[in-house]
Amino acid sequence: MSVYDEKPWLKTYPAWVPPSLPLPTQSAVDLFEAVVREQPESPCLCYFDDVYSYREVSRAASALSAALKDLGVKPGDRVIIDMQNIPQIVIASLGVWMRGAIVLPLNPMFKAHELEYYINDGDAHVIITQDDVYASMVKEAVEGRKDMTVITTSPRDFLRAGQEIPDQLKGLEKKTFPATLDMVELLARYRDRPSDALKVQTEDIAFLVYTSGTTGPAKGAMITHSNVVHNSHVYAEVCRLDRSDVVLGVAPLFHITGIVAHMIIAFRLGLPIVLFHRFDPGDCLRLSEKYKVTFTVAAITVFTALMNYPSLSKFDISSFRKCYSGGAPVPKGMVDRFRQATGITIYNVYGLTESSSPATLTPIEVEGPVDEESGALSVGLPVPGHEAWIVDAADRNREVPIGQEGELVLRGPGITCGYWRKPEETSHAISDGRFFTGDIAKIDEKGWVYIVDRKKDLINVSGFKVWPRDVEDVLYKHHAVKETAVVGVPDSYRGETVKAFVSLRDEFKEKVTGEELIEFCKERMAAFKYPRQVEIIEEIPKTTSGKVLRRVLRQL
């Protein structure tokens, strides 16, 4: 019998967290339509200073669904949605589902050659995108393709007449193109046409979300309606959300966190989502105060930016009591700093695209422990209804005891069924429903999970293993360090050596040197661990979800 079969986390969860949740009987569309029936005039999307009700969003989605039907979109087709956090991304997702089709969300910063890969791999023939993204990226990617239909929209399309143009949208004048269809015109043309919405089943694929996974090039994780609906229920229970909450839509809605922790949770409970195109700390704080936001899940970089915003004290964000961070390791020191600056606690969550966002969660108002050995802040307890194991990183068939490090393995209703048209990659990552995350972690005797690092980020120094996280945690104890990321670089003597990239807090720029930081680490770490090189840079490069781009750093 496995030591993990006893599920120690079940005894650690507060009494109000159920040990498991019923499997979904509704799709994401069903959740949304139930809100439309029960509270049609409730706010659904708060876009800068405009508010759209659930009824208005429903009518727009139905009109788009009717248009997609005439464009030949069939059940199971993949439709690319390529835009920032604007109302149209929510409307487009609903419209696609009403045709029984699959949303393929993409980062609007992808270049043309990257888009070509996703178009071809996903076999998509319709793209809904922003007009500025079309002009700069999409047009080149689809040039010469007669099988492609492109629908464009402007970030300014859903600003009501008379509203002052927000600063971040002032340079984005609406554009139209002969080769594309305009989304607003389509919505007007099909406004009174029945959408003939199709019934969506819970096991139908809702999203094809691309991820690097544990190995190789980007793969499309098949995320079902059941996956996202179940995990929205997880958030609702563990974070104690109800209809009084307001969601801050700061995570990209093309990313699994934004999809589940913003959009689907809003549909589940009938909540408003506050959107403001792209993250801007000033807009974020102003709108958080205006709409009295209560809940979000965001990368730690978001909270860092808010904490360092010069006018932070001018905003009343006291309603903001359910703050979660995921997507990148959260140093305990950063949590303490944010609490000192705002009075607000950041709670930890860990998940992957393949786990449909949350895999572990810290219950609201519960202080996550810090691992005594590594200094890592726990990422929470395995979410209700899910199982977790730690296996030997070199032998996945061998479980390791409670408290020891190894590869984290997950199984449960939130886990993807596999990768799109990639059976070999699927069989490598998933066996008997167990998903091998590629993350090195450990689970303590109470069920708290600690993420140590990615297997591929391990640094081998003269045969000694160094996890970047260990070095980063020490550097974060230095008062001048704003952000840091550690990588291994080639070394003719040691094989690899430890190199740290550091960005400094504004008041310490030009005052602290790399040599000083090396000495700081040398005094606090084993000789093989401390960084031999420290390079001070302006910003640490990251993905839109806040994950450090270590491959970029290795090339610097």
- Say if 397 falls within a structural domain: yes
pLDDT tens, residue by residue, 491-549: 766 668 899 999 999 999 989 999 999 999 988 877 778 999 999 999 998 865 566 88
Q: Do 405 and 311 lie in a common domain?
A: yes
- Say if 332 falls within a structural domain: yes
pLDDT tens, residue by residue, 425-447: 999 999 999 999 988 899 999 99
Residue 304: its pLDDT value, please?
86
Average pLDDT over residues 460-470: 71
**Rounded to whole angstroms, how far apart are CA atoms 411 and 382?**
10
User: Which range among 319-323, 454-458, 482-486 shows the weakest confidence by mean pLDDT?
Assistant: 454-458
Distance of CA 553 to the CA centre of its chain: 21
- Say if 413 falls within a structural domain: yes
| Residue matched to tokens 């069903």 | 30
Q: Do 446 and 465 lie in a common domain?
A: no
Tell me phi and psi for residue 146, to 5 degrees: -80, -10
What single-letter DSSP state applies at residue 287? H
Render 427-470 in DSSP notation, one character per residue.
HHHEETTEEEEEEEEEE-TT--EEEEEEGGG-EEETTEEE-HHH
Last residue of a domain, one of 420, 455, 490: 455
End-to-end CA distance of the chain: 48
- Say if 364 falls within a structural domain: yes
What single-letter DSSP state applies at residue 86? S
Asked whether the beta carbons of 116 and 144 are under 8 A apart, the reply is no
Q: Do 432 and 394 lie in a common domain?
A: yes
Tell me phi and psi for residue 454, to 5 degrees: -85, 145
- Asked whether the predicted pLDDT for residue 449 surpasses 50, the reply is yes
Residue 504: its pLDDT value, please?
95
Give the Cβ contact number of residue 509 at 10 Å.
13
Q: Do 405 and 331 lie in a common domain?
A: yes
- Say if 440 falls within a structural domain: yes
Q: Do 417 and 469 lie in a common domain?
A: no
pLDDT tens, residue by residue, 265-300: 999 999 999 999 999 999 999 999 999 999 999 988
For residue 270, is it left (φ>0), alpha (ψ between -120 and 50) or beta?
left
Nearest to 391 by CA among 441, 351, 352: 441
Amino acid (1-letter code) at residue 237: E
Asked whether the beta carbons of 553 and 487 are under 8 A apart, the reply is yes
Q: Do 374 and 282 lie in a common domain?
A: yes
What is the extent of the structural domain holding 534? Answer: 458-555
Q: Do 363 and 492 lie in a common domain?
A: no
| 190-193 long-range contacts, CB within 8 A, separation 24+ | 190/63, 190/64, 190/66, 190/67, 190/70, 191/59, 191/63, 193/63, 193/66
**Rounded to whole angstroms, how far apart are CA atoms 417 and 226?**
11
Hey, what are 82's tokens?
């390529």
Asked whether the beta carbons of 485 and 329 are under 8 A apart, the reply is no
- Say if 382 falls within a structural domain: yes
pLDDT tens, residue by residue, 77-96: 999 999 999 999 999 999 99
Q: Do 322 and 361 lie in a common domain?
A: yes
Q: What is the CATH number of the domain that holds 540?
A: 3.30.300.30
Q: Is residue 10 packed enough to be buried (19+ CB in 10 Å), middle (13-18) or exposed (0-12)?
A: middle
- Asked whether the predicted pLDDT for residue 463 surpasses 60, the reply is no
Give CA angle at 387 (385, 390), nearest 5°: 160
Last residue of a domain, one of 430, 455, 480: 455
Q: Do 344 and 431 lie in a common domain?
A: yes
| Residue matched to tokens 């700390």 | 281
Q: Is residue 330 packed enough to be buried (19+ CB in 10 Å), middle (13-18) or exposed (0-12)?
A: buried
Hey, what are 502's tokens?
């550091």
Q: Do 468 and 424 lie in a common domain?
A: no
Q: Do 437 and 479 lie in a common domain?
A: no
Give the Cβ contact number of residue 460 at 10 Å.
12
- Asked whether the predicted pLDDT for residue 176 surpasses 70, the reply is yes
pLDDT tens, residue by residue, 19-45: 999 999 999 999 999 999 999 999 999
pLDDT tens, residue by residue, 211-259: 864 445 689 999 999 999 999 999 999 999 999 999 999 999 999 999 9
Residue 212: its pLDDT value, please?
63
**Total domains in the fold of the chain:** 2
**Rounded to whole angstroms, how far apart are CA atoms 542 and 284?**
20
At residue 276, the 3 state secondary structure works out as coil
Last residue of a domain, one of 455, 474, 499: 455
Residue 213: its pLDDT value, please?
47
- Asked whether the predicted pLDDT for residue 373 surpasses 80, the reply is no
For residue 277, is it left (φ>0), alpha (ψ between -120 and 50) or beta?
left
Helix (H), strand (E) at residue 423 = helix 423-429
- Say if 429 falls within a structural domain: yes
Q: What is the CATH number of the domain that holds 10?
A: 3.40.50.12780
Q: Do 346 and 492 lie in a common domain?
A: no
